[in-house]
Every structure is written in structure tokens, then in C-alpha cells.
Structure 1
Amino acid sequence: MDRSAQNSGTIDVRDAHRFDVEALAGWLEREVDDFAGPLAVEQFKGGQSNPTYKLITPGRSYVLRRKPPGKLLPGAHAVDREYRVISALHGQNFPVARAYALCTDESVIGTAFYVMEMVEGRIFWEADFPQVPEADRPRYFDAMNETIARLHTIDPEAAGLADYGKPGNYFERQIARWSGQYLGDVEAGRVPAMDRLVEWLPANIPPGEDEARIIHGDFRCDNMIFHPTEPRVLAVLDWELSTLGHPLADFSYHLMIYRMPAGITTGLAGLDLATRNIPSEADYVADYCRRTGREGIANLDFYIAFNLFRLSAIVHGIKGRIVRGTAASAHADKMAAGLEPLAELAWAQAVKAGA
């Protein structure tokens, strides 16, 4: 089964993620303008971390994202931060879904949640956009490039997000955070390549001026809704990992698709990009630099090693949730099975950077 079939569409709500629909409907009537039932609820197949639901009424559909039930790591699943950042970015005319309301009262459905608009369009689950005609693919890559560059040129203070993250020392803090998440999740076990990266990364952070911009944290094609027929991004999804941070950390995470084979997750490594009419990594980097006023990106291999380590830590967390019985997706097992190859790929980038 391909990733599109695994993640697209909705299913009946999983037993572990059920809640009192009538209680939710009452809350929506009080908190969301023009809401009118009756209300039906389905669960989106995707969403490894925060369970995501489609709320269906006769007049319109909505999307609900909630903290998962059960034992959670401190600071994870911060749906209140997601709500805050998409509300702020909507005010900056950045492509996000409109947020309607946040609920931190756990008595309503058992955990905190927020409700946003349902944006209709297309999600592409494979990095090579196989559903798009070859002649059009450069325009879709350009739309992604323009969107992430646009995000990184928004002034956090003007957006009301000046305090959305700690300023300075971004890589040092992030390496410490994800190392701590990895080492603290004892139930998920240890991975040799990640152990090496925990030692190497903090000792090899590139020197230079730090920057603080709004960063998404998981910017990839399957976290975007494209227009139904045009190469245009209508909404960027899944802001759980967003913060203030170094824009090159965010961009190089997005750029990982060029280094990752399709067998681990969606990636372009090993594919003949020219025959697929897909921009090269160098051209894609040049377009981003042009849009953000950079002359180039030094130390790119370090940044990608860092991000592959970070992604490995996220997958390691999914493995831990499987052990604890709180995994949000039925396909979590398949993701967890790719943990060691992903960590080895991260170490290979560190080697390219001089490890």
C-alpha cells in the first residue's frame, strides 16, 4: 500500500480516540459562530502525533486536532501552540487554515483541542509528484519554495509571535532537546547511529550569526494542501513543531527530500530528476536563496545531518508510543521499522560534513 492510500481520506474513529460527540457539539454551538448540527465525526487516517478528525455538518465541514489520550511526554502535543501560530499567520495572509476556537477544558472531550476550517484541495504524499504532468512539476516545486521562503521573511514581531520561542542558540537548544527526548524514551530502546550523533552534533555546530524567524518544523509536500487544479499552496498543515528558530534549519529539513530514498519515507535520492522534470537540489537551494536574500548556504551537510537526527528522534518517539499503546496512526509500526536506516542516513550526512 502506498503512502497516499495509507494516509488519505477518513475512517471510523479508532476506539482509542473516541469521545463524547454530543459534548463536542454543545461546545461548538457555544464557541463557533454559525455552527449548526447535527454533527458527525470521522477520523483522518494520517496524523502520527495529534489525532485529527473531520467534523461534518449539513452546512459545512471542520477539522479538529486534539492531544492524544494517555501518557504523554512533557511539552509534546502542544495544540495550543498550533492554534496560536496559525491564527497569527492567517492574519499575515500566509496560507493556513482559518482557526475558529481553542478548548483547553479537558472535560469536553478528554483532552485539549482546536477547531479550524476544512480546506478543500490536493495533498501529494510522494516527493516526486507522480500525479502531476511532467511539464507542470517545476511549478509545484516552485510553489513549495516560494511558500517556505515567504514564511521565513515574515517578521515575528509584526505577526505577534515575538515570544513564540527562545531567541538565539537555536541549534544548541534543539540538539539538546531532541537528544533528551531520545535518551529519555527508555521504552523505545537505543540506536547506535543516534548515540554517535548525540555526541557529534553539539561539538560541530557551525559558527556564525544566529537568526530567529518563524519556522514550521515539518515542512514537506504532504503537509500542504494544494489548489484543486493549480500549482498553488492553499494551506500549510501540522504546526505542532513550529517555533522561532534558524530559518536554515527549517529549509534544510525541507531539503532532506533530495537526500532521502523513497524506501525510508518520501524522498528523491536515487531518482533521475532530469527525466522527471524535477529541479536539482542546487537549483532549488538557489531559488530559496534568491527569495530570501542569501548568497548561498554553507555547512549544508551539517544542517541536513541535524535534521535527519531530529527526524530520527521523532520516529523514535513514535516507536515509544507504540510500546506505550498511544500511537495515533495504524501505520506507526511501518514508520518505526525505518528508524535504524534513517539514523544511519543521518550519520552518513555527518560523515560528509567531516565526522
Structure 2
Amino acid sequence: MTNFTTGPNKAHDASLLSSLAEWLQTAAPQIGAPINLDKFSSGQSNPTYQLQTDLGEQDGRFVLRTQPAGLLLKSAHAVDREFRVMKALDKTAVPVPEMIAACDDPDVIGMKFFVMREIEGDTLFDPALAGYAGADRHALFHAKIDVLAALAKLDPIALGLEGFGKPSGYIDRQLGTWTRQYHASETEPIAAMDFLLAELPNYIDEDVPGFCVIHGDFRLDNLLIRDQVKIAALIDWELSTLGPAFIDLSYWCAMLRMDAKWPIGGLGGIDRASLGIPDETALVAAFCAKTCLERPANWDALIAFQCFRFAAILQGVLKRHLDGNASADNAA
């Protein structure tokens, strides 16, 4: 079910719609004239809106995705990269929305943005998939592996993504990037984070097989689900880059280890077998079988690395909330 915000932001949305309409007349006249804009309630990082045009209820449904207002961290909120990678993935086995047009000029509506076609699908947040039959849970988890494997098998250079990410040194760069992002968003000292920052470089290395497009935030609520078990689209590519093939899988598996009360939610303490959900070993084995890649020897270190990323991301959400720049209503 789609949830929208209401209230005081409506005046801002009307002004935004007017500025956007003028730009679309030249950039994408084929989608018709915008007539309504509603902000989705989800989405902590980049504000996202349902855009309705005069082409009709179905044909005229699009999505506007923008950078947030306020001072932005360097390299964060990269909507231009989102547009580029999803456009490159069009007509591949990785399901993404159709890209319409992008604007790098912040003077048009006050920030960078892009427009894409809206995809019908449900956004789910409960990793235990309450209400699902065991067989359907099993099927959806393996459908997610299918998407990750399809992404891992694509040649980034053949997709036109040369220069989208460097061919080596991904993990070292990520450690540096997320360390800087964390410190830039730090609100108080946290001993556990200081420990991770000091110890991770001693346990993790670049010995991870494969080189592919990385989504960067592969979790359940970044998928649009249709008919319970079909993945209609993988969205929110803000953190995408190029790097080792097991990065997205380790991110997802680390998330599933977390307690269900964790801000994003995991399966920690839940009997997966009783729900029909494959365990981590089975998920990794399925990915390896579909990609012909071997499980990395430093798998546990990858999991720890992903936990650090989660913490840095959540710290950024908290900082934006405290600064009054949070995109979603539930940032607190």
C-alpha cells in the first residue's frame, strides 16, 4: 500500500510542481503535463514523490526523486548516479523502472532530481514476511538471490558504466568513505564504533571474487513486490558503484542477522526453518551456484564491515533528524 505525507508540505509541493512542469515541457514532453505531486512517507535519504500527469490514471503515473534540502555530505544523495545506473540496467535481467529524464541543475527546483516511470508493486518491511505461506517466503527469498545473481553476472563496462567505480580497492575506499561519513554525522562518542574503526582494517582485505555493479543498499523495502513472490523492481540505487560480487549479498545477510526490533529489522532469534526461510548458508550457496563464484574466505569480516556501514547510515539519519533535514517522517 502506498503512503503519502499530508499537511504543511503541500504548499512546498505545489511550488515544486510548478517549477517541474516548466522544465518537463522541454526535457520530457512525452509524459504529459504534471497535475499532482504527493510525497511518499518512506525514504530516509532522498525525497521521493508520486508524480501524476494528464496522460491518465495509469499512463500518467511517474516518480520524482530529488536530493534533500540543506547542507549535503560530499558524495551523498547521488541521484545522478541512481539515474545513470538504472538507465544502464534497462532491458537486463535486473528489474528497474524506466528512466525518463534527469536534471543536474539545482536552480530548476532547488536541488538535483530525476523522473522515472512508476512501477506497480508492494513495499514490504517485515523480513519475516508475516502473512506469507512458508513456500511463498522461500520463493521470495530465492527470487532475491536471482536478482543479486543477475546483477553479479553483468559486465559493467558492456553496460556503459566505465568510470562508475574503480576496478580495485573497493573495501579500503568504503572503509574510508563510511568512516568520514560517520564522523561528519557523529553526535556523541560511541565506544563500539571506535573499536570497529580501529579493528576492521586488520581483519578485512580485498580478497573477494567477482567484479560487478553493486546496488549498495539491498534490503527488502528497496524492492517492489508483485503477486507476493515476483520482484517487479529494485529501486534506491543512491549507493551504487562497482566492486566485488559478494558485497550486496553480505549486506543483506548481515541485516538478516539483526534482531527484529532493530531499526530496519532482521531475523535474529527467529527460527527460519519453521517459516520456510532459507538460512544464511543456503542463501550464500544458492548465490554461488548461480554465479559460479566461490564463497569468500573472509565472509565473517565482510559481515562485520556491513554492520559498520549500517551504523554509519543510521547515524546519518539521526543527524539529519536533529538538524531538521530528515526526508521521512519516521527518522526519529
The within-5 A match list for 1:301-316 is 301-316=300-315
Q: Count matched residues.
A: 325
Maintained 8 Å contact 1:69/1:326 = yes
Aligned partners of 2:257, 2:116: CA distance in 1, in Å?
Answer: 34
> What is the match of residue 110 of structure 2?
110
Percent identical: 39
**Deviation per CA, 1:120-161, whole angstroms, max 9, x where unpaired?**
012221111113222221111110010011101100011111
**Deviation per CA, 1:256-279, whole angstroms, max 9, x where unpaired?**
233111100221111111211111
Deviation for aligned residue 1:210: 5.8
2:273 partner SS = coil
The letter for the 1-side match of 2:63 is V
Specify whether residues 223 and 283 from structure 1 end up closer, same or farther in structure 2 by C-alpha distance, changes over 3 A only. Answer: same
Aligned partners of 1:138, 1:294: CA distance in 2, in Å?
Answer: 22
Q: TM-score, normalised by structure 2?
A: 0.93
Maintained 8 Å contact 2:170/2:206 = no
> What is the match of residue 33 of structure 2?
37
**Deviation per CA, 1:62-109, whole angstroms, max 9, x where unpaired?**
001001111111111111100000000114342000110001222221
Deviation for aligned residue 1:33: 4.0
The letter for the 2-side match of 1:214 is V
> What is the match of residue 340 of structure 1?
none
Deviation for aligned residue 1:230: 5.2
**Deviation per CA, 1:294-350, whole angstroms, max 9, x where unpaired?**
2333222111110010110011111111222111111111xxxxxxxxxxxxxxxxx
Aligned partners of 1:14, 1:78: CA distance in 2, in Å?
Answer: 27
Specify whether residues 11 and 203 from structure 1 end up closer, same or farther in structure 2 by C-alpha distance, changes over 3 A only. Answer: same
> What is the match of residue 52 of structure 1?
48
Aligned partners of 1:184, 1:26: CA distance in 2, in Å?
Answer: 36
Aligned partners of 1:183, 1:137: CA distance in 2, in Å?
Answer: 38
1:34 partner SS = helix
**Deviation per CA, 1:232-253, whole angstroms, max 9, x where unpaired?**
2111010000001122122100
Specify whether residues 110 and 233 from structure 1 end up closer, same or farther in structure 2 by C-alpha distance, changes over 3 A only. Answer: same
Deviation for aligned residue 1:163: 1.1
Aligned partners of 2:64, 2:176: CA distance in 1, in Å?
Answer: 31
> What is the match of residue 347 of structure 1?
none
- Are 1:296 and 2:298 counterparts? no
> What is the match of residue 240 of structure 2?
242
Aligned partners of 1:185, 1:224: CA distance in 2, in Å?
Answer: 27
Aligned partners of 1:237, 1:27: CA distance in 2, in Å?
Answer: 24
> What is the match of residue 69 of structure 2?
69
**RMSD over aligned Cα atoms:** 1.8
Aligned partners of 1:64, 1:112: CA distance in 2, in Å?
Answer: 11
Aligned partners of 2:243, 2:189: CA distance in 1, in Å?
Answer: 28
Deviation for aligned residue 1:22: 1.4
Aligned partners of 2:284, 2:147: CA distance in 1, in Å?
Answer: 14
Specify whether residues 14 and 223 from structure 1 end up closer, same or farther in structure 2 by C-alpha distance, changes over 3 A only. Answer: farther
Maintained 8 Å contact 1:96/1:235 = yes
Structure 2's unaligned 5+ residue stretches are: none
Aligned partners of 2:276, 2:208: CA distance in 1, in Å?
Answer: 36
> What is the match of residue 20 of structure 1?
16
Maintained 8 Å contact 2:68/2:327 = yes
Aligned partners of 2:308, 2:115: CA distance in 1, in Å?
Answer: 32
Moved over 4 A (4+): none
Maintained 8 Å contact 1:103/1:113 = yes
Aligned partners of 1:307, 1:125: CA distance in 2, in Å?
Answer: 19
The within-5 A match list for 1:1-355 is 8-12=2-6, 15=9, 18=13, 19-58=15-54, 59=56, 60-186=60-186, 188-206=187-205, 208=207, 211-227=210-226, 229=227, 231-264=229-262, 265-333=264-332
Q: TM-score, normalised by structure 1?
A: 0.87
Structure 1's unaligned 5+ residue stretches are: 334-355
Aligned partners of 1:304, 1:122: CA distance in 2, in Å?
Answer: 28
Deviation for aligned residue 1:170: 1.1
Maintained 8 Å contact 2:34/2:51 = no
Deviation for aligned residue 1:212: 2.7
Aligned partners of 1:83, 1:89: CA distance in 2, in Å?
Answer: 10
Specify whether residues 185 and 135 from structure 1 end up closer, same or farther in structure 2 by C-alpha distance, changes over 3 A only. Answer: closer
